[in-house]
Copies of this chain bind each other. A is one copy, B any other.
Amino acid sequence: MKKPKLTLKDVALKLGVSTATISNAYNRPDQLSALKRTEILAACKSIGYEGPNKAAQILRKGRSNIVALVLADSIEYSVNDPVANTFITGVANILKEQKKHMLLYAGDSESVRDVVDFVDGFICYGAPRNPNLADVLNRQNKPVVTVDFNLPDRPSVNIDNEQASYEIARLALKPNDRVAILGLRLIDSPSVCRIYDTPLLDVEHCIAHRRLNGYLRALKEAGITIGNDLIWNIPESEGKFAIQAAKEVLNSHPRPNIILCMSDIIALELLQCAMSMGLDVPNQLRITGFDGIAEAARTRPYLTTVCQSSAEKGKVAAITLLNDTSESSILPYELKQGETV
């Protein structure tokens, strides 16, 4: 039952060659004749040696072929968010190609100590919920690629959130509109609430802020002013919170006739709510989303939104990390005119 677990040394002894030769047979084919190499590999297989122990290799080489994917939130939450999911898909795609492995790491953790000594690098998807984590990450020496936020001197992958938001708002807005904004993680609060004069989260750490700026620029241009009581904070892009916010905003007086949402999930829940209240979309209420998730493409009326390719983001992030380049990328996005505007 329990195999004795051969080591490279055992094998070298048995085959009457040096350990270096066995090691080279596996790791550096150019260091010995092809013939000898084939012989050795065959002999190893036949006596049941499966190759050098990976744990020892990690220590010795300082490389594990494991990449940590640091999610913005807990794993539980992130894995159920379609946008995060698509991103993971993109990363997985590239890692598989390069025979690397993926360790999921929660962004609400305190530190990366548990894994920093053996992973080869970090892909950091969204500003970690625990702000401490970003600092720790930045202070260590392994490669880091950030996505949807920035860390000093680290490459990042982003879209131009400000411009995208500006454009979608511009597309949607009409003179004299009564506007509301459903924001995502604008302030440091676990609750659905209006932001009033709560200080906003750090710009660098927060795409929400950039999206807000884009909206506000479009509003200004359209000659519309909006109070902070018409800007909601939603702590997570999750149905439950989105519904709460949707109800609040739709039941507020005077009711807005256009609502700019910082994610499709939020927009879709709002849309559901509005329709079940008998509102005519888009005539009584216009809605814009952000992301371009698959579900939005399946749901009628089609959502007017900003499409970004999360899968592509994942791929670019993985490639950037594996090449250890320091170049940041700005990826393209696309406005999608649906039926909600």
Contact = CB atoms under 8 A, between A and B. Distances in A.
B118 A54 contact: yes
Contacts of A46: none
Contacts of A114: 54, 65, 99, 101
A200 interface: no
25 contacts: A54-B114, A54-B115, A54-B116, A54-B117, A55-B59, A55-B62, A56-B117, A58-B59, A64-B118, A74-B92, A75-B88, A75-B96, A75-B102, A76-B92, A76-B93, A79-B85, A79-B88, A79-B92, A85-B85, A99-B114, A101-B104, A101-B114, A101-B115, A103-B103, A104-B104
A253 interface: no
A106 interface: yes
Contact of A92 (B2, B53, B75): B75
A74 B106 CA distance: 21
B96 A106 contact: yes
Contacts of A80: 85-86, 89
Nearest to A2: B141
Tallying the copies of this chain within the complex gives: 2
Given A56-B117, A99-B114, A103-B103, 8 more contacts: A55-B64, A55-B118, A75-B88, A75-B92, A79-B88, A80-B86, A92-B106, A101-B115
Interface in A180-219: none
Contacts of A59: 55-56, 58-59
Contacts of A88: 75, 79
A115 B3 CA distance: 18
A105 interface: yes
A271 to B, nearest CB: 13
A115 B104 CA distance: 15
Given A56-B59, A62-B55, A117-B55, A74 B101 contact: no
Interface of A: 2-3, 5, 50-51, 53-56, 58-59, 62, 64-66, 74-76, 79-80, 85-86, 88-89, 92-93, 96, 99, 101-106, 113-118, 141
Counting chain B CB atoms within 10 Å of each CB, the highest count among A2, A3, A99, A103 belongs to A103
Nearest to A56: B59
A303 B50 CA distance: 49
User: Shortest 8 CB-CB distances between A and B: which pairs?
Assistant: A54-B117, A75-B92, A55-B118, A76-B89, A59-B59, A55-B59, A53-B117, A55-B117
A147 to B, nearest CB: 16
A107 to B, nearest CB: 12
A186 to B, nearest CB: 26
Most chain B CB within a 10 A radius of its CB, from A65, A75, A86, A115: A75
Given A2-B141, A58-B55, A59-B58, A50 B113 contact: yes
